[in-house]
Amino acid sequence: MKVAVCINHVPDTETKIKVGSDNKSIDRTGVNFMMSPYDEIAVEEALRMRDKFKGEVVVLSLGGEKHKETLRKALAMGVDKAVLLKDEAERDSFAVATGLAAELRALAPDVILFGKQSIDFDDAQVGTCVAEMLGIPSVGVVVKIDIQDKTVVCQREIEGGHETVQTVLPAVFLAQKGLNEPRYPSLKGIMAAKSKPIEEKPAAPAESRVITVAMRKPPAKATGKIIGTDKTAVPELLRLLHDEAKVI
Amino acid sequence: MAILAFVEHRDGKIKKSSFETVRAARTVADALKAECCALVIGSGISSLAKELGPYGASRVLVVDDPALAAHANLAFAKAIATVAVQQKAQAVFLPASQMGKDLAPRVALKLQAGLASDCVGINVENGDLVATRPVYAGKALVDVRVTTPVKVFTLRPNVFTATQGSGDASIETVSVTFDPADFVTAVTDVKVATGRPDVTEADIIVSGGRGMKGPEHFALLEALADVLGAAVGASRAVVDAGWRPHDEQVGQTGKTVSPTLYVACGISGAVQHIAGMSSSKYIVAINKDKDAPIFQIADYGIVGDVFDIVPELTVQLKQALGK
């Protein structure tokens, strides 16, 4: 079985975002980047599929030179091959998907995994776009993937519950938290990853269809009031929620 | 010219986020002097169509086909795109629900359209649409333009207001031709927990963090939530510790929520948590650490012991609400 995983290199979740001087993108100064957390789940799932069905796992990332750090982490986790589709420009999800789809078409994997969304732009589009571009099925926000020959039965998260979804391979799956617990790279894995090559090719993405015209911080919330230090504050809280906020 | 709004339903009921989507589509349609069309897809769902006029649809298009009894994303995407082309829609709006997020990328590609996801505002400026959407889980906002002739937007639930008016819509049945290939991906079973709402849909969320000291104490929050008809939420720390299920997690690697009221109990307010809930309309924080960052964004704070305050709050609310 050939499994491809598409991963992204994003600011750490603990990062405080500052808007850059162009007012269109973030100030990257001092920002730590990491593999998008849902993509780690996707990589883990790919490794488990390889354990079960044999075959190989290829990771792809479309982006700048820095994306090699995240590809290197995937290698340390145990993937067989890493490909950087090199592109330093800011692109929308559609454009990124065209670049990835072109490479995936040639690769023809049985399974393509993505994180359910990349935690930078939170678009949750690229994986499903790739599936549509390749003309194959997709199942989003999966918490269980059970492959039986060419048929796949998934559990997918919906509001307040789960759906069981059946589909066929080849297909795209978008990993949600709960699918598995991603492994930490072992020391041996980290050492081995240093000598594994990262294949590099220029990406050929289409023009973006969504352009950012401005970025700003959300309006700061005014600091509210501290209304007490124990349960004697409860009547005042209820009064405020009723009279001022009008929420109860 | 038309703005087409996709309407999601479950168990014979239209989702609130879809009423919000239809009303937002109407507002934009009015500004563009376009027609607001709502689209309902499914099997045996024709009776839902009449509910959409009051939310702003001037026409409701219905694709009612026994083949659509079970949700199939390829068939649904095809139906939406087919109707959008027939109606010469200049924009398609979908709720940014799990279903909407699953369908929108495919619909957009079929229409050669750009897609702006999870929008919290859509404004008309000089005849063009400018959408506002959160990025980095709400740590920043961007204004975006979609450059294609047809544009697709998904709208974050709980942000747009589903104002009900007295409008009446004409109802038209539309037929779409499907192939067996449109059903290779299909939902075979749905399990929705009855009782508390989901955090992304709830008007009120009662959320707990490490200050709850253990999974057994979440019963206190569940009791409070049930008095309020609220969802129960959780911080990453308690989900990672296995105290609460993943689907309750609020924050950058969980759900981003915008309820009317968010009650944070024993939550200190890590950057990634605040990103996911700071757009709540009102925030109440109960935490014994007066320096906890959560107090910087809370409208009302009580610096005290959750085990003392939460049960009292539940009791007094019960009395006040006559429950």
**B50-97 tens-digit pLDDT:** 999 999 999 999 999 999 999 999 999 999 999 999 999 999 999 999
Please answer yes or no on whether B313 and A161 come within 8 Å at the CB atom. no
Q: Does any CB of chain A come closer than 8 Å to the CB of residue B309? A: yes
Tokens of A170: 């080849």
B-chain residues near A234 (CB < 8 A) = 309, 312-313, 316
Please answer yes or no on whether A229 and B302 come within 8 Å at the CB atom. yes
φ, ψ of residue B236 to 5 degrees: the values are -60, -40
* CB contact residues (below 8 A), chain B span 29-58, against chain A: none
Please answer yes or no on whether B190 and A164 come within 8 Å at the CB atom. yes
Identify from A237, A238, A243 which residue to disrupt to test chain B contact, counting B C-beta atoms within 10 A and taking the largest count. Answer: A237
Residue B136's Cβ-count burial label (10 Å; 0-12, 13-18, 19+) is buried
Fold (CATH) for A2-202: Rossmann fold (3.40.50)
Identify from B71, B118, B133, B142 which residue to disrupt to test chain A contact, counting A C-beta atoms within 10 A and taking the largest count. Answer: B142
Query: In the prediction, which pLDDT does A175 show?
Result: 98
Q: Print the SS3 string covering B114-177.
A: EEEEEECEEEEECCEEEEEEEEHHHCEEEEEEECCCCEEEEECCCCCCCCCCCCCCEEEECCCC
Query: In the prediction, which pLDDT does B195 show?
Result: 84
Q: Write the pLDDT tens digit of every residue in B172-219.
A: 999 999 999 999 999 999 999 878 999 999 999 999 999 999 999 999
Closest partner CB to A121 (pick from B135, B147, B320): B135
Do B94 and B153 contact (CB within 8 A), yes or no?
yes
Query: In the prediction, which pLDDT does B310 show?
Result: 98
Query: In the prediction, which pLDDT does B193 show?
Result: 83
Q: Does any CB of chain A come closer than 8 Å to the CB of residue B270? A: yes
* CB contact residues (below 8 A), chain B span 199-228, against chain A: 200-201, 204, 228
Average of pLDDT values for B224-242?
97
Query: In the prediction, which pLDDT does A48 show?
Result: 98
Closest partner CB to A164 (pick from B106, B189, B279): B189
Domains B2-183 and B204-320 share a fold: yes
Q: Give the amino acid at B247.
A: D
Query: In the prediction, which pLDDT does B323 show?
Result: 77
Closest CA to B202 of B284, B278, B259: B259
Q: Return the domain boundaries, chain B.
A: 2-183, 204-320
- Residue-wise burial string across B205-228, b where 16 or more C-beta atoms lie within 10 A, e elsewhere: bbbbbbbbeeeebbebbebbbbbb
A-chain residues near B304 (CB < 8 A) = 228-231, 233
Tokens of B106: 């495919």
CA closest to B262 among chain A residues: A247
CB atoms within 10 A of CB A184: 11
Identify from A10, A114, A159, A244 which residue to disrupt to test chain B contact, counting B C-beta atoms within 10 A and taking the largest count. Answer: A159
Q: Does any CB of chain B come closer than 8 Å to the CB of residue A228? A: yes
Closest CA to B154 of B112, B111, B121: B121
Contacts 24+ apart (CB under 8 A), B289-294: B290/A226, B292/B267, B292/B268, B293/B268, B293/B269, B294/B264, B294/B267, B294/B268, B294/B269
Query: In the prediction, which pLDDT does A221 show?
Result: 81
Average of pLDDT values for B105-130?
97
CA closest to B154 among chain A residues: A123
Closest approach of chain B CAs to the CA of A176, in angstroms? 9
The CATH code of the domain at B204-320 is 3.40.50.1220
Query: Tokens 């079960």 appear where?
Result: A52
CA closest to A222 among chain B residues: B297
Please answer yes or no on whether A163 and B184 come within 8 Å at the CB atom. no
Identify from A165, A181, A215 which residue to disrupt to test chain B contact, counting B C-beta atoms within 10 A and taking the largest count. Answer: A165
Label the pairing between strands B121-125 and B128-135. antiparallel
CA closest to A40 among chain B residues: B253
ipTM of the assembly? 0.96
Closest approach of chain A CAs to the CA of B162, in angstroms? 17
Closest approach of chain A CAs to the CA of B170, in angstroms? 31
Strands (E), chain A: 2-6, 9-11, 33-35, 56-63, 81-86, 111-115, 138-148, 151-158, 161-168, 171-175, 198-202, 210-216, 225-228
Query: In the prediction, which pLDDT does B200 show?
Result: 94
DSSP output for B29-96: HHHTT-EEEEEEEESS-GGGGGGSGGGT-SEEEEEE-GGGSS--HHHHHHHHHHHHHHTTEEEEEEE-
Residue B242 has pLDDT above 80, yes or no: yes
Please answer yes or no on whether B117 and A213 come within 8 Å at the CB atom. no
Distance CA A213, CA B42 (A): 38
Closest CA to B97 of A96, A140, A180, A131: A140
Residue A141 has pLDDT above 90, yes or no: yes
Distance CA B80, CA B21 (A): 15
Residue B144 has pLDDT above 80, yes or no: yes
Please answer yes or no on whether B296 and A26 come within 8 Å at the CB atom. no
Per-chain mean pLDDT for chain B: 96
Please answer yes or no on whether A226 and B254 come within 8 Å at the CB atom. no
Do B5 and B20 contact (CB within 8 A), yes or no?
no
Closest CA to A9 of A39, A46, A51: A39
Query: In the prediction, which pLDDT does A150 show?
Result: 83
* CB contact residues (below 8 A), chain B span 97-156, against chain A: 97-99, 101-102, 104-106, 108-110, 113-118, 130, 134-148
A-chain residues near B71 (CB < 8 A) = 163
A-chain residues near B247 (CB < 8 A) = 157, 178
Q: Write the pLDDT tens digit of every residue in A184-235.
A: 999 999 999 999 999 999 999 999 999 999 999 998 888 789 999 999 999 9
Q: Return the domain boundaries, chain A.
A: 2-202
Distance CA B220, CA B226 (A): 10
Average of pLDDT values for A114-135?
97
> By three-state DSSP, how is residue A110 classified?
coil
Average of pLDDT values for B110-118?
98
Distance CA B200, CA B248 (A): 9
Instruction: Tell me which of 1.20.1560.10, 2.40.30.270, 3.40.50.620, 2.60.120.10 is the CATH number of domain B2-183.
Output: 3.40.50.620
pLDDT category at A131 given cuts 50, 70, 90 is very high
